[in-house]
Chains A and B, each alone.
Chain A
Amino acid sequence: MPASYAGLRKEACGIREFFLYSVQEGLLFGILALGVFITFRCLNFPDLTVDGSYPLGAAVFALTMYRGYGPVAGVVSALAAGALAGLFTGILHTFSRIPALLSGILTMICLYSINLRIMGRPNISLSENLGHRTIFVILRDAFPTVPEVYVRFLFLFALLVVLKFLLDAFLQTEIGLSIRATGDNETLVATQGINPDDMKLIGISLSNALVALSGAMFAQYQGFVDINMGIGMVISGLASVIVGEVLLRGKTIFVMTLQVIVGSVVYRLATAVALNWGYSIGFKPYDLKLFTGILVIVILSFPVLKEKFGKA
């Protein structure tokens, strides 16, 4: 994964474009963060499949394009592949009774090889003439008079709004409610006649479908797929979720998914700023994961720190 597109492009554009690029990336990763939200927050299932299902989505998208199908087929295939990856993790956990973290890591490690198989080599380009254009190229050509950055921004914004409202609605359906109840109180769910394992399978699959979608969209955005683009994605997704929770208060579904999206955008802006501004103090793109790790650690430790040292 290139550390940040915004970071690379800053020189070439003004502050407004810099801002828009970061927000775009925030929206792209917001799709992934919504997926992470489903497992970590709704299901209470810390799913590490993400680091594998994100590049899986990108790889499957690329494969579909290389086989001569259009970007819509690519996106649908990516969604399906992500759901399958999630289902696999879910089965490891519910059927084989492997602990949640380990189930995710196992799928992730299997996916590394599978992704390489799909791609054929560690890095493939999407910008060559493939017979079909990627979604962003189609958009650019459709609105030749509007600057590309705005077209992309509006498209991604609309996409995320739609996804948010679909997810909000889903979480209030019978299955969605059962998934949330499973994450809260598995004993209760079983005494109310719901098989918690079924709900986990559905939730984890849906989550990874979104993650793979995010991967497929980002591959089109940057114009290539890299085997390592998934490294650390679960933590940056989690960072988005918890940054959002710090910034916005509220526990309704509407607010919670909004938190995720706002969190993702703010987190991307913060990393972009850190990269550009931090350049002068020797901050390098590869320091980004350390930055993210520390950010998550600080926010997660905050309640304890406040309790220990707050009122003293």
Chain B
Amino acid sequence: MLKLDRVNKYFFRNTQDERWAVRNLSLEVQKGEFVTVVGSNGAGKTTLLNLISGTYFPDSGRIFIDGQDVTTVPAYERAKYLGRVFQNTFQGTAASLTIEENLAIAYLKGKRKGIRMAISEKMREYFRERLAEIGLGLERRLKDRVGLLSGGQRQALALLMATFGNPKILLLDEHTANLDPKTGEKIMELTTRLIEENALTAIMVTHNLQDALQYGHRTLMMDEGEVVLDIFGEERKRMTIQELLERFSELRHKKFAEDRALLSS
């Protein structure tokens, strides 16, 4: 489904501020696989997602989605394969537009835009149905502007938008990090439900090691632009947070430098 072949990404290349954000990273994700990604601040997790989505192009290496080389395909063209939710709850929606207008943008993804009315009654019907499923009462607020919603509601909406039309890959970047724990839990529940119901391939970056091991099928641990641990199957089932941290320090000869992860575990 997704394949990265020796991908490198630098920032400020050939200056004294040069950052080697992603280093020779190779990765294969199978169809239907739900991968969680953890790693310290600056490990390159967001950059990895940005490379997959085409926000940045790699300096070297190739990226394939469904066998197609998309390495230099611009983000807006690649978008038809992808759904994405961001950490910042304002990034995944347009705050000045209404709920139904936001949903329409997602609904019309991949279609050629014309001068037809963007929203039809049939679409509204569908929106209400899908919104009712997430149980926040948003189906009664189609004409409310998204800026009026709470962070959790916005994130739920962003999640729904990202899964419209069953993308080949769903990219989640710490999408519960800015929510209070209870709301975060609800959004996680919704996430796993949407992924399971639609059998989506998903990559979820998280700071919560508990979540990383609990959800999905496979966990990647990143450090300094590399995937240093890749665990799945039986090994993953038995893995505890403590063991995970120990494995990390054995491999990298340092402690897993992430305060938030320890606190939230």
On whether the two chains bind one another, the answer is: yes
Binding site for B on A (CB under 8 A): 169-170, 172-178, 180-181, 183-185, 187-196, 251
A188, B105: Cβ atoms under 8 Å?
Answer: yes
A185, B91: Cβ atoms under 8 Å?
Answer: yes
B80, A193: Cβ atoms under 8 Å?
Answer: yes
The stretch among B111-119, B192-200, B228-236, B246-254 that forms the contact with chain A is B111-119
Tell me if B110 counts as interface (CB < 8 A to partner A): yes
Q: Which of B97-148 contact A (CB under 8 A)?
A: 97, 101-102, 104-106, 108-111, 113-119, 145
- Once A192-B79, A193-B76, A193-B110 are accepted as A-B contacts, the answer to whether A187 and B94 lie under 8 Å apart by CB is no
Residues on the B chain within 8 Å of A187, using CB: 55, 86, 91
Could you list 8 examples of A-B contacts with CB < 8 Å?
A174-B116, A181-B97, A185-B95, A187-B91, A190-B79, A193-B76, A193-B80, A194-B79
Residues on the A chain within 8 Å of B108, using CB: 174, 192
Which residue of chain A is the closest to B53 with respect to CB atoms?
A: A191
Residues on the B chain within 8 Å of A190, using CB: 55, 75-76, 79
Binding site for A on B (CB under 8 A): 53, 55, 74-77, 79-80, 82-84, 86, 90-97, 101-102, 104-106, 108-111, 113-119, 145, 161-162
Interchain CB contact (< 8 A) of A184 among B95, B111, B119: B95
Q: How far is the CA of A193 from the CA of B106 in the complex (A)?
A: 9
Contacts A177-B97, A193-B77 supplied; 7 other A-B pairs, CB < 8 Å: A174-B113, A176-B118, A181-B94, A185-B93, A190-B79, A193-B80, A194-B76
- Once A184-B96, A188-B91 are accepted as A-B contacts, the answer to whether A174 and B75 lie under 8 Å apart by CB is no
A173, B117: Cβ atoms under 8 Å?
Answer: yes
Which residue of chain B is the closest to A180 with respect to CB atoms?
A: B97
Closest 9 CB pairs of A and B: A193-B79, A184-B94, A174-B113, A177-B118, A173-B115, A190-B75, A185-B94, A193-B109, A195-B76
A177, B105: Cβ atoms under 8 Å?
Answer: yes
Residues on the B chain within 8 Å of A191, using CB: 53, 75, 79, 82-84, 162
A189, B115: Cβ atoms under 8 Å?
Answer: no
B105, A192: Cβ atoms under 8 Å?
Answer: yes
